[in-house]
């Protein structure tokens, strides 16, 4: 009997394993921890046995297990449907062979076809990168920790939680084509050269939740943002909430997105979003940046409410919403900027190319409010 049918209700994604579920310990398939042995085939065999069984629980005991690309496969370790992949927290390590630094397109865990109902939790993924910063054309930027991407089927009901993902020259976690109902919860990130968490769209992708995640103090220079949405391709239903970001949140091209209650050192930036809510975020600009703390272009339906913004730069703008440029004639429209606390030295709110908006009840530095709120090339703005 498929063990997934005997699961009990829980908070993971509505189900949990009963005592009848099959267990697969990677050591029973030949994995050998804490040595130079390549454990890829052993871990893959455990995953495959779980898949053939119709699901189950794959256990990765404490220890470090070496993983390497065997050929042209992507990902290296394909996650089976109806499964929980679990370890003993940060003591259970899947680590790339150091040869990864001489190659590209190593994706440690992932899905490349139709898969559903998977939880990955209580693991540490280590990308073994020796890169200290992004060097265009030289950094192997497609070596990822997690890679979910399918043009031929749907990837749905996938949760990553309570993991440490670090030392990847690409993205720690990436998702795109075919992904639906994806949750990334309480994941710690460190030392990513490209993005921390990368989200894209395509093939009816929808419904992503990133919550409770944190990027830790790095020893490398990140080339991108902590949380990033690009190549949205019709992506809908994204929620980014309660995260601690040492770098920016960049998210564009989404229909229906909530970015709420995040702590951000950097900026929240995006273009071409429809029905976006930015609320309750605490954003502090970086000392070496004079860029706007919140910047949105070509927005249609935008609420910016109850955020706290500050910058040590004397030239940074607080909130900048723009549209109608030589590249795109569309204005930003239906924009509401309310109840924000904005501590900057120049422009607190700047609307440029906006049609239809509201600016009200914001707290800005004492001084000439006419200079702190700037409206250009805009119409139907109520104050």
Q: Which residues contact 107 (CB under 8 A, 6 or more apart)?
A: 74, 75, 76, 142, 143, 144, 146, 147
Residue 99 backbone dihedrals phi, psi, to 5 degrees: -60, -15
Amino acid 20: pLDDT: 60
Domain ranges of the chain: 3-265
Separation CA 275–CA 258 (nearest Å):
9
Query: What is the token pair recorded at 202?
Result: 């395509």
pLDDT tens-digit series, residues 122-181: 999 999 999 999 998 889 999 999 999 999 999 999 999 999 999 999 999 999 999 999
Whether residue 197 contacts residue 190, with contact meaning beta carbons closer than 8 Å, is answered with no
* Region for residue 276 given its phi and psi (left: phi exceeds 0; alpha: psi -120 to 50; beta: otherwise): beta
pLDDT tens-digit series, residues 263-322: 999 999 999 999 999 999 999 999 989 999 999 999 999 999 999 999 999 999 999 999
Query: Measuring CA to CA, which residue among 183, 177, 65 is closest to residue 112?
Result: 177
Whether residue 176 contacts residue 231, with contact meaning beta carbons closer than 8 Å, is answered with yes
* Region for residue 63 given its phi and psi (left: phi exceeds 0; alpha: psi -120 to 50; beta: otherwise): left
Bridge partner residues of 111 (DSSP): 148
Separation CA 79–CA 88 (nearest Å):
18
Residue 369 backbone dihedrals phi, psi, to 5 degrees: -65, -25
Q: Indicate if the pLDDT at residue 4 is higher than 70.
A: no
Q: Indicate if the pLDDT at residue 18 is higher than 90.
A: no
Least confident among 18-32, 54-68, 123-137, 149-163? 18-32
Whether residue 302 contacts residue 335, with contact meaning beta carbons closer than 8 Å, is answered with yes
Separation CA 224–CA 350 (nearest Å):
25
Amino acid 1: pLDDT: 39
Whether residue 173 contacts residue 165, with contact meaning beta carbons closer than 8 Å, is answered with yes
Q: Which residues contact 242 (CB under 8 A, 6 or more apart)?
A: 211, 212, 260, 261, 262
Separation CA 38–CA 76 (nearest Å):
13
Query: What is the token pair recorded at 99?
Result: 């040869």
pLDDT tens-digit series, residues 363-377: 997 665 667 999 999
Whether residue 225 contacts residue 201, with contact meaning beta carbons closer than 8 Å, is answered with no
Whether residue 268 contacts residue 279, with contact meaning beta carbons closer than 8 Å, is answered with no
- The percent of residues in the chain predicted with pLDDT above 70, rounded, is 93
Three-state DSSP class for residue 89? helix
Residue 122's Cβ-count burial label (10 Å; 0-12, 13-18, 19+) is buried
Q: Which residues contact 166 (CB under 8 A, 6 or more apart)?
A: 124, 125, 126, 127, 172, 188, 189, 190, 191, 192, 216
Amino acid 371: pLDDT: 74
Select the more confidently predicted residue: 136 or 44: 44
Separation CA 306–CA 37 (nearest Å):
53
Superfamily of domain 3-265: Single-stranded right-handed beta-helix, Pectin lyase-like (2.160.20.10)
Q: Indicate if the pLDDT at residue 17 is higher than 90.
A: no
User: Does the CA dihedral 168-173-174-178 come out positive or negative?
Assistant: positive
User: What is 316-372 written as a DSSP string?
Assistant: --SEEEE---SS--PPEEEEEEES-EEE-SS-SEEEESEEEEEEES-B--SS-HHHH
Q: Helices (DSSP H) in the chain: which residue ranges?
A: 40-52, 369-372
């Amino acid at each position: 009997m498929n063990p997934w049918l005997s699961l009990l209700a829980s908070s993971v994604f509505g189900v949990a394993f009963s005592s009848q579920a099959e267990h697969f310990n990677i050591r029973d398939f030949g994995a050998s921890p804490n040595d130079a042995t390549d454990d890829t085939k052993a871990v893959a065999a455990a995953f495959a046995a779980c898949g053939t069984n119709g699901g189950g629980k794959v256990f990765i005991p404490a220890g470090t297990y070496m993983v390497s690309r065997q050929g042209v496969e992507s990902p290296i370790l394909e996650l089976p449907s109806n499964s929980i992949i679990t370890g003993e927290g940060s003591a259970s390590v899947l680590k790339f062979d150091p040869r990864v630094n001489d190659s590209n397109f190593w994706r440690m865990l992932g899905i490349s076809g139709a898969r559903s109902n998977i939880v990955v939790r209580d693991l540490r993924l280590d990308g073994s990168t020796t890169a200290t910063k992004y060097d265009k054309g030289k950094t192997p930027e497609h070596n990822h920790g997690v890679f979910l991407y399918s043009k031929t089927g749907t990837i749905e009901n996938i949760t990553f939680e309570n993991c440490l993902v670090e030392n990847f020259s690409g993205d720690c976690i990436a998702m795109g084509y075919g992904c639906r109902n994806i949750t990334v919860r309480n994941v710690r990130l460190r030392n990513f050269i490209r993005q921390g968490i990368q989200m894209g769209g395509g093939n009816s992708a929808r419904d992503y939740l990133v919550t409770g995640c944190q990027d830790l103090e790095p020893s490398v220079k990140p080339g991108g943002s902590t949380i990033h949405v690009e190549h949205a391709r019709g992506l809908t239903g994204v929620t980014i909430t309660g995260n601690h970001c040492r770098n920016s949140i960049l998210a564009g091209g989404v229909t229906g997105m909530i970015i709420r209650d995040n702590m951000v050192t950097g900026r929240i930036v995006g273009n071409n979003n429809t029905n976006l809510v930015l609320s309750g975020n605490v954003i502090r600009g970086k000392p070496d940046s004079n860029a706007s703390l919140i910047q949105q272009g070509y927005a249609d339906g935008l609420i910016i409410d109850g955020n706290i913004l500050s910058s040590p730069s004397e030239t940074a703008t607080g909130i900048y919403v723009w549209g109608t440029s030589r590249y795109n004639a569309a204005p930003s429209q239906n924009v509401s900027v309310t109840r924000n606390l904005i501590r900057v030295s120049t422009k607190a709110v700047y609307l440029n190319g906006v049609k239809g908006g509201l600016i009200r009840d914001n707290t800005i530095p004492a001084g000439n409010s006419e200079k702190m709120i700037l409206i250009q090339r805009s119409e139907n703005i109520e104050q």
